[in-house]
Amino acid sequence: MFIHFCNIKSKICNMFIQRLHPETIEEVKQRTDIYELVSEYVVLRKRGKDFIGLCPFHKEKTPSFTINQAKQMYYCFGCQAGGNAIKFLMELGKTSFTEVIIDLAQRYQIPVKSLDFEQTQELQRKLSLREQIYEVLALTGKFYQYALKQTQGKNALDYLSNYRKLSESTIHNFALGYAPAGWGVLYHHFVENKHYPVKLLEQAGLIKPQKSGDGYYDIFRDRLMIPIHDVMGRIIGFGGRALGENQPKYINSPETELFNKGKTLFALDKAKHGISQKDQAVVVEGYFDAIALHASGINNVVASLGTAFSVEQARLVLRYTDSKQIILNFDADSAGINATERAIGEIAQLAYTGEVQLKILNISDGKDADEYLQVYTSKDYQQLIENAPLWLDWKIQQIIYNRDLKQATDFQQVSQQLVKLLTSITNTDARNYYITYCAEILSLGDSRLIPLRIENLLTHISPTTSNYKQIQLLTSQNQSILSNQRSNFSESSLLEAAEGLLLQIYLHCYEYREFIFDKLEEYNLQFSLSHHRFLWQKILEVSESVNYDLLSTVQDKCLEFPEKIGLISHLFYLSEKNEKDMLRIPQLIQAAIASMEIVLTEKRYRYFLNLWEKTDANMKPKHSTYYYKAFYTEKQKLLLLEKQRQFTISNLL
């Protein structure tokens, strides 16, 4: 996975937009392997010569996202997203072409050059700063590990070994350490002894300037230290736990260029393979919950760094699971319940739409995962995971918890909360199921009341749901609208398919480019759709200097225009059907040309027919005769074009 440069990178890219040297771009393209890159975000499985997985760009249950390693291209047969590795990162991170190139250059240690020498030097200076931050954080992690084994770290080591019951291998595996008690230990070690720039340590989130005076002090003092790694295993921050009564009990590194706790998950670097293998992710609240579970062999666990579990964090783990199953295991006390509620609130929209299969695990007696494993086995915990209820079931149980539905006030409040919950469910089948389930709860065991409760819930969820006549009227109106849209859609689809086919053949088949160009000139045709005109313009700009590598060069050009690329990206990729179709290219070109002509001729036909119908033949006989001849001519041309076409519309669509 990539760690983006955040603010530094954005500033750099603004300075160097469209100024990167072509040699840098070309070397990045040569060094990047699309399978290696995409597999960090998508669970891929081998199928024939390709790899396949669930598309990260749209919701799907059946994999339709393919990687062709030989061509270094990806394509989704579901949403038609496609392109090379650069395009993939642009779409996934919603970042610019330049940002992605710089990211990849840093990943593969490729020198980044600009067309301007002075700008190149400035760029290298800023990028090297980021590498220096990684370096000082890595060295700080080793410093804390060393301090843990010294006399001053005895209390911290005893806490880990005796209280947390962690083995030496687990302590080593998670690189746990100790920050000595002094105010300036880290400052003294790095700045005064090793002569690291003081600003570097400040930018790494390790020291802070004193409010009065010119000195600095260590952020972490007399704390058990837990390194936080990115998904590639590099330290990007720390969590520190107080050993005595100091407050707060836990503190994290401040936000830096590398660390954003709302977009980071603890132990994801160690859990990603377990999540993929088990096809589910368990999210816990605390560092030691995650560490204890990993130590017990449950290796698909991450922790949320003490913040509300966010959409960004959810999407991080969803990259590694086909089932999109996340189990939230926060504490079962009141604070943990509130944290679970907040997490559900954050990702509820993903759950409502089915983008995540969310379950809730609350351990009885208010225990957290670490405490539970002190008494029970990992198999017992695994059984809890398997029995965890769906979040809607958990939510309903929370609504009715400690409520007496025989009391009018409680019954009314519970009903209102259930209606609010049911209203948010967008899936019809799921909503119907939970309406019946809630009606059974509100019926208090009296089955005769269930139909009445269902009707009451329906009335409050959607007041028009029970009005059959209104439903019929709405259905009739919608069918009329759809019918009108369908007739318009047919023409636009034909033009989209015909123009797209010509452009696709032009990009992929060198030997037919001149033929297509001549046909367009012969019939005086132009690309009508704006995104196709854009692509044709880029082709013409590049084709003067490039022949055989036209496809790759044009795609790189188009990647610099993210608002356009989404509509044309599928044209840079050939599906199996496309490859078979390419065996009959001359016929396809003729069919596409004829289709474009048909659409344009039909427009002219309707235009003149409309003028003729509106013209009074008695008042303007010449105009009427002219319009009649014009629309009749276009009509005859339409009939001829249809006869000339060797393929039907359905062959192109």
Q: Are residues 554 and 538 in the same domain?
A: yes
Q: What pLDDT sits at residue 645?
A: 56
Q: Backbone phi, then psi, for 298, in 5-degree steps?
A: -95, 100
476: pLDDT strictly greater than 50: no
Is 122 domain-assigned?
Answer: no
Of 90, 115, 140, the residue at which a domain comes to its end is 115
Q: What pLDDT sits at residue 544?
A: 62
Give the domain range for residue 297.
263-388
118 DSSP β-pair partners: none
Mean pLDDT of 141-156: 95
> Could you tell me the pLDDT band of residue 480, with boundaries at 50, 70 and 90?
very low
pLDDT digits (tens, 9 = 90+) for 355-367: 788 999 988 776 7
Report residue 619 as tokens.
């008042």
Q: How many residues are there in the chain?
A: 653
Pairing type for strands 223-229 and 235-242 reads antiparallel
Mean pLDDT of 599-603: 83
Q: What pLDDT sits at residue 545?
A: 59
3-class secondary-structure state, position 65 = strand
Of 115, 137, 153, the residue at which a domain comes to its end is 115
141: pLDDT strictly greater than 90: yes
pLDDT digits (tens, 9 = 90+) for 258-267: 898 888 999 9
Q: What strands lie across the sheet with 65-68, from one edge to the other?
A: 45-47, 50-53, 65-68, 73-76, 82-83
Q: Are residues 195 and 242 in the same domain?
A: yes
Q: Are residues 243 and 268 in the same domain?
A: no
Question: Of 258, 16, 257, which Cα lies nearest the Cα of 123?
Answer: 16
Q: Which amino acid is at 241?
A: R
Is 340 domain-assigned?
Answer: yes
Q: What pLDDT sits at residue 114?
A: 67
Roughly how many angstroms between the first and final C-alpha of the chain, as a whole number?
A: 37
pLDDT digits (tens, 9 = 90+) for 366-415: 678 998 998 999 999 999 999 999 999 999 999 999 999 999 999 999 99
Q: What Cα–Cα distance (Å) separates residue 630 from each residue in 181, 546, 602, 625, 636?
A: 92, 43, 12, 9, 10
pLDDT digits (tens, 9 = 90+) for 299-314: 999 998 876 788 888 8
- In this predicted model, which residue has the larger pLDDT, 350 or 579? 350
Q: Are residues 225 and 276 in the same domain?
A: no
What rounded mean pLDDT belongs to the chain? 81
pTM: 0.59
**366: exposed, middle or buried (C-beta count within 10 Å: 0-12, 13-18, 19+)?**
middle
> Which of 2-11, 144-153, 283-292, 458-467 shows the lowest mean pLDDT across its residues?
2-11
Q: Are residues 488 and 633 in the same domain?
A: yes
Q: How far apart are CA 442 and CA 411, in angstroms?
A: 8
- In this predicted model, which residue has the larger pLDDT, 20 or 42? 42
Q: Are residues 512 and 626 in the same domain?
A: yes
Q: How far apart are CA 283 and CA 650, in angstroms?
A: 48
For residue 216, the domain's CATH number is: 3.90.980.10
Q: Is the dihedral of CA 226, 230, 235, 238 positive or negative?
A: negative
Q: Are residues 237 and 134 in the same domain?
A: yes
- In this predicted model, which residue has the larger pLDDT, 361 or 517? 361
Q: Are residues 523 and 615 in the same domain?
A: yes
Rg, the chain, Cα only: 32
Question: Of 38, 107, 123, 116, which Cα lies nearest the Cα of 76?
Answer: 38
Q: Are residues 336 and 356 in the same domain?
A: yes
142: pLDDT strictly greater than 80: yes
pLDDT digits (tens, 9 = 90+) for 180-202: 998 999 999 998 888 888 999 99
Q: Are residues 287 and 431 in the same domain?
A: no
Is 59 domain-assigned?
Answer: yes
Q: Are residues 449 and 485 in the same domain?
A: no
Q: Are residues 238 and 383 in the same domain?
A: no
Q: What pLDDT sits at residue 189?
A: 92
pLDDT digits (tens, 9 = 90+) for 536-588: 988 888 776 555 567 878 887 887 776 777 778 778 777 656 566 556 777 78
pLDDT digits (tens, 9 = 90+) for 169-180: 999 999 999 999
> Could you tell me the pLDDT band of residue 14, with boundaries at 50, 70 and 90?
very low
- In this predicted model, which residue has the larger pLDDT, 455 or 580? 455
- In this predicted model, which residue has the larger pLDDT, 647 or 439? 439
